[in-house]
Amino acid sequence: MTNIAIFYYSSTGTNYQLSKWAEEALQESGAEVKVRKIKELAPEEAIAQNPAWKKHYEETKDVPEASMDDLEWADGIIFSVPTRFGNVPAQVKQFMDTAGGLWAQGKTVNKVVSAMSSAQNPHGGQEATILHLYTSMFHWGAIIAAPGYTNQELFAAGGNPYGVSVTVDQDGNMVENVEKAVKHQARRTLEITKKIVNG
Ligand SMILES: Cc1cc2nc3c(=O)[nH]c(=O)nc-3n(C[C@H](O)[C@H](O)[C@H](O)COP(=O)(O)O)c2cc1C
């Protein structure tokens, strides 16, 4: 079995949905999968002021939080994170920063990593967010499994050689249909992870 962790952060559900599509593709492909929510750090008062955020927060209370044990367990990782001012959310940075202990023991080395992002503007910084995340992955000694243009789906809306990028409208709905691109990226991550694990 190849272990793939999907670590996501989501305020209003977009990246949760991307993660669920990735999970579906990985399970169909026979991987051992864990979907893990990156811990919320925003104060309850801030969440309460935004009905969509509060709703999603309540709905996903039972999703297990990402831990260092999950990170150690994973052979491959898919990150799905919203764009925040052209960068990863603080919650995601905090999660990565808590990996210092594993990093110091060499346990982040050779993990296969792939990332997806969403933003409200079609040019709102999705690629920048993915690249910021990949920068930290170079320090982990991870192997980046970007989608490139490895499948016809990636020439369609939302397909992106850096990693799936989707736009959300004012109501929080995804504008492009990226399900197939997400599933391709997930399968490709698994395929590369298997090659690394099995030599
Ligand atoms: C603090 C903050 C910063 C944001 N920065 C950007 C941005 O730089 N570009 C953009 O297009 N959208 C930006 N957005 C919109 C989010 O990217 C969008 O709500 C998110 O992708 C939705 O994902 P989710 O439903 O998984 O939370 C920002 C939202 C917040 C709350």
Work out which ligand 1 atom sits closest to the CA atom of 16.
26
Give distance in angstroms: CA of 196 to centre of ligand 1: 34
ipTM surpasses 0.95:
yes
| Residue whose CB lies within 8 A of the most ligand 1 atoms, among 84, 169, 174, 175, for a mutation test | 84
What is the domain count for the chain? 1
Work out which ligand 1 atom sits closest to the CA atom of 121.
11
d(CA 172, CA 6): 22
Other beta carbons within 10 Å of 95: 24
42: CATH: 3.40.50.360
94-109: pLDDT as tens digits: 999 999 999 999 999 9
Report the DSSP beta bridge partners of residue 33.
4
Give the residue, by CA position, lying nearest to ligand 1 atom 30. 84
85 lines ligand 1 (CB under 6 A): yes
* Per-residue pLDDT at 149: 92
Q: Write the DSSP string, 101-117.
A: HHHHTTTTTT-EEEEEE
Whether the per-residue pLDDT at 184 is higher than 90: the answer is: yes
For residue 22, give both structure tokens: 């990735």
What is the pLDDT averaged over residues 175-182? Answer: 94
For residue 173, give the 3-state DSSP assignment: coil
| Torsion region of 141: left, alpha or beta (phi above 0 gives left; psi -120 to 50 gives alpha) | left
10-65: pLDDT as tens digits: 999 999 999 999 999 999 999 999 999 999 999 999 999 999 999 999 999 999 99
Give distance in angstroms: CA of 102 to centre of ligand 1: 30
Counting beta carbons within 10 angstroms of the beta carbon of residue 170, is it exposed (0 to 12), middle (13 to 18) or buried (19 or more)? exposed
What is the chain's mean pLDDT, rounded?
96
Give the residue, by CA position, lying nearest to ligand 1 atom 28. 84
89 lines ligand 1 (CB under 6 A): no
Give the residue, by CA position, lying nearest to ligand 1 atom 2. 84
* Per-residue pLDDT at 151: 86
The whole model's pTM is what? Answer: 0.97
* Per-residue pLDDT at 153: 75
168 lines ligand 1 (CB under 6 A): yes
115-154: pLDDT as tens digits: 999 999 999 999 999 999 999 999 999 999 999 999 887 7
Give the residue, by CA position, lying nearest to ligand 1 atom 31. 84
Domain that holds residue 158: 3-198
153-167: pLDDT as tens digits: 777 766 799 999 999
64-97: pLDDT as tens digits: 999 999 999 999 999 999 999 999 999 999 999 9
* Per-residue pLDDT at 155: 78
For residue 36, give the 3-state DSSP assignment: strand
